[in-house]
């Protein structure tokens, strides 16, 4: 209910574009690690359809220099997609990293560099944040002459719509940070995929937009987002010691007064099709949530009230563990009440009725939103109905109980300060057919507001 009091600030695609010479120069970063060649090809196929002046953007794949297999795949793909460039990320011992170290030395906002047990450590873990940091400072050095220099980054499987950069050009006239929504394309591939996609429908497609209200500290979603390069460098780039960068970088932007705008036209992505892969992915998220909501908030100077609001972002996810106790307890209590064993005090009965009614309204709203969002990726009514059956309330209750596993594993990761190795989610090119058909049909995904 608190989130519903917060206004969603959207990019209005009816607003005019800036004049062509004033369009932001966008560098799209593409961090990859041991990816399937066909997965990257599907993403490049969607990027080839971007509707934006070709001289106003670059696409920069940023593999680790040690990832020779991915580099070989990228080199083959650049023959078919010549707009893709490759920037290999060397070990942090390479002199080209001096641009990062020198900037961090002079910037007190880079709290992990100046304070704590890893202060001054150059042994950055070879994962996404390291790749993004290297590319960010290289891009800033290369394009010093560019005005409105902007960074966008996506995941290996992310497929943006054709108007992705246009939305950025419009939105950056009003907001400092932009975040596109996401939608899973392989949501009916398996029952686990249906549940994993439902998490995104609930959060990315629902509650997340309310974080754009300036009163609420926001996170970003880790793909399909735009920063102004100068703004990002002034804050020190990406914290390399957190399992996922999404919450912490958003909190840092918010604390420094940077506003967030929501791009409604979503990226198509794939979700894990097995429970094991989904749990691996979610435990990494949970570890990153705990890490971002602890010491970093102190280092950024969050007040007690601001910390509470930042924690509110995690509460919808963290509270899922209560279902493990609440569902069996609720069934047992209801059964006793049905049999005339009226052992509950009246105030608890009233509270229970309120909770049940509120839960009913929440689920109705969720299923309405789910039906609408399935229309973005499923063309046939039968497929959409099949998905709705896969995420029926009983199955969802079971899934929300299973969430206790990644919550516990992620909390243990947080306590052990692990998550430094990139535990990547395997991409299997699940959306190849869908993306190609959408591009052929629309060039840009249909808008749903």
| Confidence (pLDDT) at 342 | 78
| Confidence (pLDDT) at 80 | 94
pLDDT digits (tens, 9 = 90+) for 185-222: 999 999 999 999 999 999 988 899 999 999 999 999 98
pTM for the model: 0.90
For residue 2, the SS3 value is coil
| Confidence (pLDDT) at 221 | 93
Pair 287, 174: CB distance under 8 Å: no
pLDDT at 428 over 70: no
Buried b (16+ CB within 10 A) or exposed e, 366-404: beeebeebbebbbeeeeebeebeebbeeeebeebbbbbe
> What percent of the chain is helix, strand and coil (3-state, nearest 5)?
50, 10, 40
**Alpha carbons 164 and 50: distance in angstroms, whole number:** 7
pLDDT at 436 over 70: no
| Confidence (pLDDT) at 385 | 96
For residue 423, the SS3 value is coil
Assign domain 3-315+422-441 to its CATH superfamily: Spore Coat Polysaccharide Biosynthesis Protein SpsA; Chain A (3.90.550.10)
For residue 414, the SS3 value is helix
Residue 29 dihedral angles phi and psi, to the nearest 5°: -95, 140
The average pLDDT across 50-68 equals 95
Q: Please provide the average confidence, as pLDDT, over all residues in the chain.
A: 91
pLDDT digits (tens, 9 = 90+) for 28-41: 999 999 889 999 99
Lowest mean pLDDT among 103-107, 204-208, 231-235: 204-208
Range list of β-strands (E), 351-421: none
Enclosing H/E stretch for 142: helix 128-142
| Confidence (pLDDT) at 417 | 86
| Confidence (pLDDT) at 145 | 81
User: Would you give the distance in Å from CA 194 to the centre of its chain?
Assistant: 18
pLDDT at 227 over 60: yes
**Alpha carbons 315 and 280: distance in angstroms, whole number:** 20
Q: How confident is the model at residue 442 (pLDDT cuts 50, 70, 90)?
A: very low
pLDDT at 423 over 80: no
Q: Could you tell me which of 282, 294, 151, 289 has the C-alpha nearest to residue 224?
A: 151
pLDDT digits (tens, 9 = 90+) for 133-165: 999 999 999 998 887 899 999 999 999 999 999
Q: Could you tell me which of 292, 227, 291, 280 has the C-alpha nearest to residue 422?
A: 280
Q: Where are the domains of the chain?
A: 3-315+422-441, 318-415
Q: How confident is the model at residue 45 (pLDDT cuts 50, 70, 90)?
A: very high
pLDDT at 422 over 70: no
| Confidence (pLDDT) at 445 | 44
The HSE-up count of residue 396 (CA atoms within 13 Å, CB side) is 14
| Confidence (pLDDT) at 369 | 93
């Amino acid at each position: 209910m608190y989130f519903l009091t917060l206004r969603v600030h959207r990019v209005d695609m009816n607003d005019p574009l800036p004049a062509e010479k004033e369009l932001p120069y966008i560098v799209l970063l593409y961090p990859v690690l041991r990816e399937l060649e066909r997965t990257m090809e599907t993403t490049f196929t969607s990027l080839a359809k971007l509707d934006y002046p070709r001289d106003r953007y670059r696409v920069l794949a940023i593999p680790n220099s040690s990832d020779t297999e991915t580099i070989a795949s990228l080199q083959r793909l650049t023959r078919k997609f010549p707009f893709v460039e490759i920037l290999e990320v060397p070990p942090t011992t390479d002199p080209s990293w001096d641009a990062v170290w020198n900037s961090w030395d002079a910037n007190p906002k880079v709290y992990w560099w100046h304070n704590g047990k890893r202060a001054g450590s150059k042994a950055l873990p070879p994962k996404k944040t390291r790749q993004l940091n290297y590319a960010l400072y290289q891009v800033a050095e290369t394009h010093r002459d560019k005005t409105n220099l902007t960074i966008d980054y996506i995941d290996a499987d992310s497929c943006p719509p054709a108007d992705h950069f246009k939305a950025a050009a419009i939105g950056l006239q009003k907001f400092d940070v932009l975040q596109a929504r996401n939608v899973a394309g392989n949501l009916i591939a398996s029952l686990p995929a249906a549940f994993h996609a439902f998490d995104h429908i609930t959060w990315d497609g629902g509650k997340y937009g309310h974080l754009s209200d300036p009163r609420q500290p926001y996170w970003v979603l880790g793909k399909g987002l735009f920063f102004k390069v100068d703004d990002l460098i002034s804050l020190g780039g990406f914290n390399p010691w957190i399992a996922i960068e999404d919450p912490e970088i958003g909190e840092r932007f918010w604390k420094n007064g940077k506003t967030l705008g929501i791009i409604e036209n979503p990226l198509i992505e794939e979700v894990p099709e097995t429970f094991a892969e989904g749990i691996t992915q979610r435990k990494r998220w949970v570890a990153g949530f705990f890490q971002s909501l602890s010491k970093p908030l102190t280092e950024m100077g969050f007040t007690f009230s601001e910390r509470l609001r930042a924690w509110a972002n995690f509460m919808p996810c963290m509270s899922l563990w209560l279902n493990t106790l609440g569902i069996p307890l609720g069934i047992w209590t209801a059964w006793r009440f049905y049999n005339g064993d009226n052992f509950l005090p009246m105030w608890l009965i009233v509270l229970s009725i309120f909770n049940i009614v509120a839960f009913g309204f929440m689920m109705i709203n969720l299923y309405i939103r789910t039906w609408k969002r399935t229309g973005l990726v499923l063309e046939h009514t039968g497929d959409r109905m099949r998905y709705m059956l896969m995420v029926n309330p009983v199955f969802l209750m079971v899934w929300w109980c299973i969430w206790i596993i990644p919550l516990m594993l992620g909390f243990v990761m947080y306590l052990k300060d692990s998550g430094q190795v990139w535990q990547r989610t395997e991409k299997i090119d699940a959306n190849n057919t869908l993306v190609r058909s959408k591009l052929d049909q629309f060039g840009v995904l249909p808008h749903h507001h």
